[in-house]
């Protein structure tokens, strides 16, 4: 019996006296799959998380923390730990990404709601049980860039000089990231994980939450890999968030210029990580669609590197990698 049949049998036990239909709802970058279950005039979501690949414990724990913080997350209605099945309330089928693609004029209202929810999330005091977003984890994420983007995607081997530049820049990035005030961090707070619902937004895919830098989720939200906004608009939104966060008592500091630099430097860490992850999803997991999202992320990374002297050497390495890749594609012979 395959996993789909197992899911259907389990759902039948949840609704023994009722007929239902089930269809795929979504899949994410992990082994998890989601199905939408239709029971009379109601809908539910079933998470299929194979126990050999996925641990549902963090999802259960973080869902409780976020619900107590006052943000809108799915309610857990039933759970089978042995099989890795979970029945959840349905937050709807329209993501922020879908809404913004269809109606870009909704951006201001949707992002205002997302900021308000993020501040509630960040005000949570239940952070003791969360893994720390510490130097070890931040470093492992940065290392995805040379391992998967440079070596696998660009098929390049760094010279000693280039490796030294990368090491030095990574040290600067980590120093900034680790000096930032820490809060609850969702880790993927972006347009694919925010649902248009009431109250808005519905928040999903939060099981990897950690305790870490306050600007991280802002970068996920405003420098989203899946939808691009111009820099002036991003700056305006970050200012609006900063004002709201200060009013709420979050530790954002009184100097906006300093806060914005932290936001940008946190962005460099995330952009390098995401480029590595997207390459890994393609070359290891066969999920090639993520390659299409790389140019937006690389553009964010390059523009930030252009603005800071300490990051200029990283831009040189990116240019050298691009130049070598272009030459290889052209295939010069002499």
- pLDDT, one tens digit for every residue, the chain (334 residues): 688 899 999 999 999 989 999 999 876 656 888 999 999 999 999 999 999 888 899 999 999 999 999 999 999 999 999 999 999 999 999 999 999 999 999 999 999 999 999 999 999 999 999 999 999 999 999 999 999 999 999 999 999 999 999 999 999 999 999 999 999 999 999 999 999 999 999 999 999 999 999 999 999 999 999 999 999 999 999 999 999 999 999 999 999 999 999 999 999 999 999 999 999 999 999 999 999 999 999 999 999 999 999 999 999 999 998 875 554 444 443 3
Q: Which residue has the tokens 């997991």?
A: 285
Q: Does residue 123 share a domain with residue 265?
A: yes
Helices (H), 180-310: 216-222, 231-248, 256-283, 294-307
> Where is the domain boundary, 55, 89, 123?
89
Residues 11 and 154 occupy one common structural domain: no
What is the C-alpha to C-alpha distance for residues 14 and 78, in angstroms, rounded to an integer? 8
**What's the total number of domains in the chain?**
2
CA 263 from centre of chain: 15
Domain finish residue from 89, 117, 147: 89
> Whole domain around residue 33: which residue ranges?
3-89
Q: Are residues 77 and 213 in the same domain?
A: no
Please give the Cα distance from 168 to 277 (Å, whole number). 22
What CATH number is given to the structural domain containing 148?
3.90.1200.10
177 shares a domain with 145 = yes
Of 212, 232, 213, give the one whose Cα is nearest residue 222: 232
Other Cβ atoms less than 10 A from the Cβ of 175: the count is: 12
* Domain presence at residue 333: no
**In the structure encoding, which two tokens stand for residue 229, read together?**
């906004």
| Whether residue 81 sits in one domain with residue 39 | yes
The whole-number pLDDT of residue 2 equals 85
Place of tokens 């389990």: 10
User: Sign of torsion, CA 66 69 75 79?
Assistant: positive
d(CA 177, CA 172): 9
Do 139 and 12 fall into the same domain?
Answer: no
Establish if 160 belongs to a structural domain: yes
Q: What is the pLDDT of residue 334?
A: 35
């Amino acid at each position: 019996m395959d996993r789909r049949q197992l899911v259907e049998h389990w759902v039948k036990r949840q609704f023994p006296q009722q007929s239902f239909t089930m269809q795929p709802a979504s899949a994410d970058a992990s082994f998890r799959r989601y199905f939408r279950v239709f029971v009379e005039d109601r809908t539910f979501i079933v998470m299929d998380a194979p126990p050999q690949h996925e641990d549902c414990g963090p999802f259960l724990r973080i869902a409780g923390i976020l619900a107590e913080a006052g943000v809108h997350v799915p309610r857990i209605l039933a759970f089978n730990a042995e099989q890795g099945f979970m029945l959840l309330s349905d937050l709807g089928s329209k993501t922020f990404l879908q809404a913004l693609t269809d109606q870009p004029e909704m951006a201001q209202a949707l992002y205002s709601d997302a900021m308000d929810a993020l501040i509630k999330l960040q005000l949570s005091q239940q952070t003791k049980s969360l893994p720390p977003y510490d130097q070890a984890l931040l470093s492992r994420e940065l290392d995805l860039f040379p391992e998967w983007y440079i070596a696998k995607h660009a098929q390049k081997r760094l010279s000693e000089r280039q490796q030294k530049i990368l090491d030095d820049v990574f040290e600067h990035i980590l120093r900034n990231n680790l000096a930032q005030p820490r809060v609850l961090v969702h880790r993927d707070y972006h347009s694919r994980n925010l649902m248009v619902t009431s109250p808005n937004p519905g928040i999903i895919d939060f099981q990897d939450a950690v305790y870490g830098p306050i600007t991280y989720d802002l970068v996920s939200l405003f420098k989203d890999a899946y939808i691009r906004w111009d820099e002036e608009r991003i700056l305006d939104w970050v200012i609006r968030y900063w004002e709201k966060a200060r009013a709420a008592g979050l530790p954002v500091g009184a100097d906006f210029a300093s806060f914005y630099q932290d936001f940008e430097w946190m962005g460099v860490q995330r952009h390098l990580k995401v480029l590595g992850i997207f390459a890994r999803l393609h070359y290891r997991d066969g999920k090639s669609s993520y390659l299409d999202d790389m140019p937006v992320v690389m553009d964010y990374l390059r523009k930030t590197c252009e603005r800071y002297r300490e990051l200029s050497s990283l831009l040189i390495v990116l240019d050298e990698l691009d130049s070598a890749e272009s030459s290889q594609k052209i295939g010069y012979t002499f």
